[in-house]
Chains A and B, each alone.
Chain A
Amino acid sequence: MSWAAKDLGDWVETAKRDPRARWLGVALIAVALAVLPFVAGAVGGRGWVRIIDFALLYVMLALGLNIVVGFAGLLDLGYIAFYAVGAYTYALLASPHFGIHLPVWLVLPMGAGVAGVFGVLLGAPTLKLRGDYLAIVTLGFGEIIRIFLNNLNAPVNITNGPQGVNRIDPISFSNFSLARPVEVLGIDVPSVHLYYYLFLALALLVIFVSLRLENSRIGRAWVAIREDEVAARAMGINTRNIKLLAFAMGASFGGIAGGLFAGFQGFVSPESFILMESVVVLCMVVLGGMGHIPGVILGAVLLAAMPEVFRNTIVPVQQQLFGKIVFDPEVVRMLLFGLALVLVMLFRPAGIWPSTTRKRELAS
């Protein structure tokens, strides 16, 4: 346990007990989050705000996967497939591709629903078996979804194949489109900032739902199954249905994030949904601390920012050392991810910011 994390933990514990400190903390965080895009935009330009937007999407994804892996202890290696399903649902129902332009408040829930259905379809045959099977079936499922997205352009063009779907409608609410900058109180608010606030709101919603789930009857059932499935069943938990619920709920979080991605990006293609993306999200959950919501958020933010940090450090360092780029930053990133998965599991299985309960369990 590092000192910084311990101090932070102690400080959080004290602050939790004092209501005034708590409100002050919440207010400070709220202000910080509200001005974050302007600060980031001023320091590093629009590109940084975009990265923050993506980090928020990853927070949603990681929290969705956390339900499956962290709470229920089911290893899902094809999680990005649900993201893909959500993204393509949005892309197909709100773009000139089919000429359908459904409104956002309809498409996003549909994306979540379709992803949830896929989650159930995938989970139903495998969840009664051992966890290893689930892992490998989800791994295959992720690939299959990508193969279908890649090939469903002939003879009937559904997904437009490897070219993907473009000119997707931006997210808009009746006449207010997030793609156009607006002026509020004399300040120009560009499109990426608007998306930031939307993603922030939804990420907070996802965090709220996750927190409430964690302490609910269902959440406790998930944890019980993770710790000992036979004992959980003996306690009267319908393990199959509860596991299916975890799967469907995790999938629908991924579906929402996928829909937002499609609307934000304006373009989707199978390229965005490769296996490595599933691994990245899994890394966020595992590194941050499986089953611990603040840890998972931390993991998601850290790892989402990592490619940028790498681009700005590894490339210049290599040019200094060798005069050319020997290791592609992307390769270095994946190497570190693989290494991190192994090392975290060996030396710090509860993650960098573990929950107090988990810590107690592992210590005893």
Chain B
Amino acid sequence: MSAVDFEILLQQILNGLVLGSVYALVALGYTMVYGVLGLINFAHGEVVMIGALSTLSAARLLQSVLPGLPGPIVLLLSTLAAIPVCMALGYTIERVAYRPLRFAPRLAPLITAIGVSILLQNIAMVVWGRSYHSFPAYVSTEPFQVFGATMTPVQVVIIVVAMAIMAGLMFLVHRTKLGRAMRATAENQSVAGLMGVNINAIISITFVIGSALAAVAGVMVAANYSIAHYYMGFVLGLKAFTAAVLGGIGNLGGAVAGGLLLGLIESLGAGYIGDLTGGFMGSNYQDVFAFFVLIMVLVFRPSGLMGERVAERA
């Protein structure tokens, strides 16, 4: 392998890690909800989108009020403003669309979830318009060199913040009383209820935490690609779901591993697909990889890398 080849490989791996950290954050939201409710929250991707767009609005507002504020502070403050928005949204979604259907046939919550997703997308379209918004570089996107590969400060921030949040979440779930209640609810709702766990509160909290992560992930995607629009949540949600399945849905560590792995697969795949197929397919097929991975996992190891066996619920 020549030096240039190595640099390209390193570049793809770095890009993959950045992408993967974002997928992991979103995948955690899917996996947590799945853990406590056994339900795929289709609207999760839209929460990511709302997070990014409301951060953008908050940042614009902030800059018009205090023009001199440095970029990173603007981004931090507006993200902190967007997180409660998404939390409230997550809570409302659960309360309105899922809770009344908790004991309904399986098809019902799936359909309401799709309905909520469509609703949010179109509300976003009304509020923020159809056009693509450029997301200003609040954190510098001036590239620097790492062993011949280029990286931007915003990418470094993404990886660091994502890792910190994930570590925090692990601590919350495995070391605190709330986390124990969440795990108990995931294990067996009725027994957890008998042990004095407030099931409804725990489910709400799970949605709220997942939505907060989604808000942060939304800001990361928007900052990384410098773009935000009403449709950004859909494909991202699909991929993050794939990451959750890849890692083993319902398993937090699995979601992180699956997210990083999927990011790497996608980035390496998009980088090398041209060579592999003799130029027949290009990087415009990047979105196909996640789906291909999903099918392969479902065929060969439906329980994912770290999950338990997934069987049809009787």
Contact = CB atoms under 8 A, between A and B. Distances in A.
Interface of A: 69, 73, 75, 77, 125-126, 129-133, 135-137, 139-141, 143-144, 147-148, 151, 154-156, 229-230, 275-276, 279, 282, 286, 290, 327, 331, 334-335, 337-342, 345-346, 349
Contact of A327 (B109, B126, B314): B126
Given A129-B310, A230-B314, A346-B101, A147 B117 contact: no
B115 A136 contact: no
Interface string B101-145: 100111111111011111111110110000000000000000000
Given A132-B40, A338-B122, A279 B241 contact: no
Contacts of B109: 345
24 contacts: A73-B107, A77-B114, A130-B313, A135-B110, A136-B241, A137-B298, A140-B294, A144-B291, A151-B281, A151-B282, A282-B114, A290-B107, A327-B126, A331-B126, A334-B122, A335-B119, A335-B123, A337-B118, A338-B115, A339-B119, A345-B112, A345-B115, A346-B101, A349-B104
B314 A130 contact: no
A135 B291 contact: no
B122 A331 contact: yes
Interface of B: 39-40, 42, 96-97, 100-101, 104-112, 114-123, 125-126, 234-235, 238, 241-242, 245, 279-282, 284-285, 287-288, 290-291, 294-295, 298-299, 302, 310-314
A132 B39 contact: yes
Given A131-B107, A135-B110, A338-B115, A345 B101 contact: yes
Nearest to A135: B110
Nearest to A335: B122
Given A132-B39, A339-B115, A155 B279 contact: yes
3 residue pairs, one from A and one from B, having the closest CB atoms: A341-B115, A338-B119, A338-B118
B119 A137 contact: no
A23 B235 CA distance: 52
Nearest to A230: B314
Nearest to B295: A125
Contacts of A133: 245, 298, 302, 310
A154 B311 CA distance: 42
A276 B234 CA distance: 12
B11 to A, nearest CB: 24
B111 A130 contact: no
Contacts of B299: 125
Nearest to A141: B291
Contacts of A139: 238
Nearest to B30: A136
A147 B287 contact: yes
Contacts of B108: 345, 349
B235 A143 contact: yes
Contacts of B282: 151, 154
Contacts of A144: 287-288, 291
Given A229-B312, A346-B100, 13 more contacts: A75-B110, A129-B302, A143-B235, A143-B291, A147-B284, A148-B288, A334-B118, A335-B126, A338-B117, A341-B114, A341-B115, A341-B118, A349-B105
A334 B231 CA distance: 14
B114 A125 contact: no
Nearest to B97: A342
Contacts of A143: 235, 238, 287, 291
Given A131-B107, A141-B291, A143-B235, A342 B310 contact: no
Given A129-B302, A331-B122, A137 B295 contact: yes
B255 to A, nearest CB: 15
Given A75-B107, A346-B112, A130 B295 contact: no
A136 B238 contact: yes
Contacts of B104: 345, 349
A147 B288 contact: yes
Nearest to A140: B291
A44 to B, nearest CB: 28
A80 to B, nearest CB: 14
A148 B123 CA distance: 29
A59 B135 CA distance: 43
A135 B287 contact: no
